[in-house]
Homo-oligomer: A and B are copies of this chain.
Amino acid sequence: MKPYVLGVDVGGTNTVFGIVDARGVVIASNSIKTQKYHRFEDYLDELYTEAMKIIVANDAIGKIYGIGIGAPNANYYSGMIENAANLPWETPLPIADLVSKKFGIPVAITNDANAAAIGEMTYGAARGIKDFIMITLGTGVGSGIVINGQLVYGHDGYAGELGHVIVKRNNGRLCGCGRTGCLETYCSATGVARTAREYLETRTDDSILRNLPIDTITSKDVYDAAVAGDKIAKEIFDYTGTILGEAMADMMVFSSPQAFILFGGLAKSGEYLLKPMREAMEKNMLPIFKGKAKILLSELKEADAAVLGASALGWEAKPVAVEAE
């Protein structure tokens, strides 16, 4: 069996790719600018050129088993990217087929949160765990659900959009999806910044966050303020963690995971976020599930995580490619 996979993480700004071996070691990696190429053909030419450089340099020609791609709104079943607002190309885009033909290697794709879950299951904190829910707390909130060792794709390939469960039925915040009250409008990095602006505008008590121009406040600023002992900053994390914990208690009645695995920038807020989250989750938990769900943090090194997650899917690429060619 060929010893390597190529992982490709297509982000709105950068596309990171790397050669990964079966134990999850990133042999080599590099990146190109996603936004620079308005035609997908030009982007693919550049990706091919740059990827071949590291493949050649590492004596990996003919040794790549499959290519795994994580990308926004990428569909595992169809191999298409559909309606991705942050990417510069026309959609629907048959990315699996196009990349597979260019490289002559089988390709499997899925969305970024699902890729993260597969990466965690293959190389990270979820090794040996058959039932878990990965929650990615980044610019938005994404999720990858694993049941009985299998990623849940749903009948159409789009399952696992837990950032879009409604947590505020009335007067909820407007979400990018067009609805109101979605989890990600509260518990993403952006959501934390929105909460900060809301608190600062509607309250009068002191906060070192008031030293910053209100429109520029980020979740990192709120974290730094909390570390410095700022009361409002801590309350912002209490509010965020409580909403997340309440939502997780509802997720528990669905698939009864053994663990929730948190990933992404906001997951690094430590106990400021985790303490209120755990408390709200257990307080709102159906009695039969109390004390059962572990809270784990991703064990993938941040710099490698996106590539590792995508690459893990490369090991599943065979069947898709057989259909594609």
Q: In the assembled complex, how far is the CB of residue A225 from the closest CB belonging to chain B, in whole angstroms?
A: 28
Contact A155 B253 (CB under 8 A): no
With contacts A148-B150, A250-B165 taken as known, whether A258 is within 8 angstroms of B177 at the C-beta atoms is no
Stretch of A89-97, A115-123, A216-224, A283-291 on the interface side: A283-291
Contact A284 B179 (CB under 8 A): yes
Chain B residues, Cβ within 8 Å of A288: 73, 82-83, 158, 161
Contact A164 B255 (CB under 8 A): no
Q: Tally chain A residues at the interface, Cβ within 8 Å.
A: 45
Contact B286 A169 (CB under 8 A): no
Q: Tell me if A246 counts as interface (CB < 8 A to partner B).
A: yes
Q: In the assembled complex, how far is the CB of residue A312 from the closest CB belonging to chain B, in whole angstroms?
A: 19
Contact B177 A286 (CB under 8 A): yes
Contact B258 A155 (CB under 8 A): yes
Chain B residues, Cβ within 8 Å of A145: 254-255
Q: Tell me if A270 counts as interface (CB < 8 A to partner B).
A: no
Among A152, A154, A255, A289, max chain B CB count under 10 A is at A154
Q: How long is the Cα–Cα vector from A131 to B147 in the complex, in angstroms?
A: 13
Q: In the assembled complex, how far is the CB of residue A297 from the closest CB belonging to chain B, in whole angstroms?
A: 19
Closest-by-CB residue of B relative to A163 is: B253
Contact B253 A165 (CB under 8 A): yes
Chain B residues, Cβ within 8 Å of A255: 145, 152, 154, 159-160, 254
Q: Tell me if A306 counts as interface (CB < 8 A to partner B).
A: no
Q: How long is the Cα–Cα vector from A147 to B165 in the complex, in angstroms?
A: 19
Chain B residues, Cβ within 8 Å of A161: 253, 286, 288
Q: Residues of A with Cβ closer than 8 Å to B?
A: 73, 82-83, 130-131, 145, 147-148, 150, 152-162, 164-169, 177-179, 246, 249-251, 253-258, 284, 286-289, 292
| Other contacts beyond A147-B152, A160-B255: 9, CB < 8 A | A83-B288, A147-B154, A154-B256, A155-B292, A160-B253, A167-B169, A168-B169, A178-B287, A254-B254
